[in-house]
Amino acid sequence: MAAANEHVGQGDFNDLVSAGTDGLLRAKEKFDANRPGASFGGLCRICVRQEIRRFLARERKHDHAELLYDPPSTAGPVGRNAELSDLWTSLTECLSTEERQVVTMHYKSDMTYSQIADKIGVPRSTVNGRAMTARRRMRKHHARETDV
C-alpha cells in the first residue's frame, strides 16, 4: 500500500495495488532463504516498486497509443467511421476470442483492466497480458496488410 501511495494520481489506485501485489508474488518466487544476508522485506520493497513502475510505464505507453489511434464508436458507421470500423474489424480478426474480448471492452467500452478483470473473472495481470499480446498481433497484422 505504501508503494502505491507514492504514485497516487498517476493511475487508478486499485490498479497500483494490484501491480504491487504482482510484485509481492514475484518476490515470493525469487526469495532464497539460504542466501547469506537475504532479506525478504528488502526484496519485497524492490519487487513491488519495480512492478508499479512497470505498470505505470505500460499505462503511459498505452495512453500514448490511444492518442494515435482512436477506435471507432459502436454507432452506425458513416463515411470515415465506416473506414475505421472496417479497419477495427480487420485488425481484430487475427485475435483469439479472449484477446478480442479484452481489447473491445477496453477500447470500445472504455473499461480499465481492473474493471475487465472483475467482469470476466480473471486476474488483472491476465487481462494485461491478453491486451499486450493483442496489440502485438494487431501491429503485426496491420504491417502485413499494409505491405501487400
pLDDT digits (tens, 9 = 90+) for 9-24: 556 667 777 777 787 8
The predicted model scores a pTM of: 0.46
Domain identity same for 83 and 57: no
Question: How far, rounded to the nearest angstrom, does the alpha carbon of residue 139 sit from its chain's CA centroid?
Answer: 16
Question: Is the pLDDT at 94 greater than 50, yes or no?
Answer: yes
DSSP state at residue 8: T
Query: d(Cα 60, Cα 11) in Å, to the nearest integer?
Result: 9
Domain identity same for 26 and 44: yes
Domain identity same for 142 and 79: yes
C-alpha cell at 148: 501487400
Domain identity same for 134 and 91: yes
Which of 11, 37, 66 is at the close of a domain? 66
Domain identity same for 80 and 142: yes
